[in-house]
């Protein structure tokens, strides 16, 4: 499949039927993974659903080539090792003009939002981090709403991590005078 067709509008065979659905009655009958993808894409997020690990690596390399940065900011040790093996130039030094590459804690279906914690962003708040982000997530990270996401975080960790925050605007708003923060976000959703 052509890379740019996958990126813009970033369709996936599994979720292609969601592109034209706008009726709230139809969205109420969706599974939570379909609802997340629908809401995320409605907010301007780019979405990849790789078929397997080889497809993920190939798509990631193509995306990073398209984004054309000299190196990528990675704050999570596990991703640093993985990307070094793929020979992708990475740094753990924060630079707001770069691209942050990493994971997330939860994907919130009813908002199409991405939740992170200090595990992913250390002590940095969203405005301190780069606006452009590549997020890698597993399908079991999708949760119906923020309340359930917080419950899942409390159940996952003995001591829940700090710095819980969400991103929910993935394209520059037209005529937005409120100054809301938006993020150019590319999400890889991997079946676990």
Question: pLDDT tens digit string along 99-113?
Answer: 999 999 999 999 999
| CA 116, chain centre distance (Å) | 10
CB 37 within 8 A of CB 15: yes
pLDDT at 94: 85
> Is it the case that residue 11 has pLDDT exceeding 50?
no
pTM of the model: 0.82
Domain ranges of the chain: 3-190
CA-closest candidate to residue 184, choices 46, 27, 22, 70: 46
- pLDDT for the residue numbered 111: 94
Is residue 107 helix, strand or coil? strand
Instruction: Report the CATH number of the 3-190 domain.
Output: 3.40.50.10420
Cβ contact 130:100 at 8 Å? yes
Residues 65-92 have a mean pLDDT of 89
């Amino acid at each position: 499949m052509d890379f740019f067709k996958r990126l813009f509008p970033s369709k996936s065979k599994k979720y292609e039927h969601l592109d034209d659905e706008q009726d709230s009655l139809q969205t109420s009958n969706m599974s939570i993974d379909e609802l997340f993808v629908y809401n995320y894409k409605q907010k301007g997020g780019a979405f990849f659903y790789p078929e397997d690990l080889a497809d993920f690596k190939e798509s990631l390399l193509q995306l990073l080539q398209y984004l054309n940065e000299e190196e990528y900011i990675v704050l999570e040790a596990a991703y640093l090792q993985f990307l070094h093996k793929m020979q992708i130039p990475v740094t753990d030094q924060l630079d707001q003009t770069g691209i942050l590459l990493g994971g997330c804690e939860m994907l919130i279906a009813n908002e199409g939002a991405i939740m992170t914690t200090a595990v992913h962003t250390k002590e940095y708040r969203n405005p301190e981090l780069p606006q452009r982000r590549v997020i890698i997530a597993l399908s079991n990270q999708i949760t119906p709403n923020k309340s359930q996401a917080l419950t899942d975080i409390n159940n996952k960790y003995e001591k829940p991590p700090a710095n819980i925050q969400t991103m929910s605007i993935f394209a520059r708003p037209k005529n937005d005078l409120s100054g809301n923060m938006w993020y150019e976000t590319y999400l890889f959703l991997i079946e676990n």
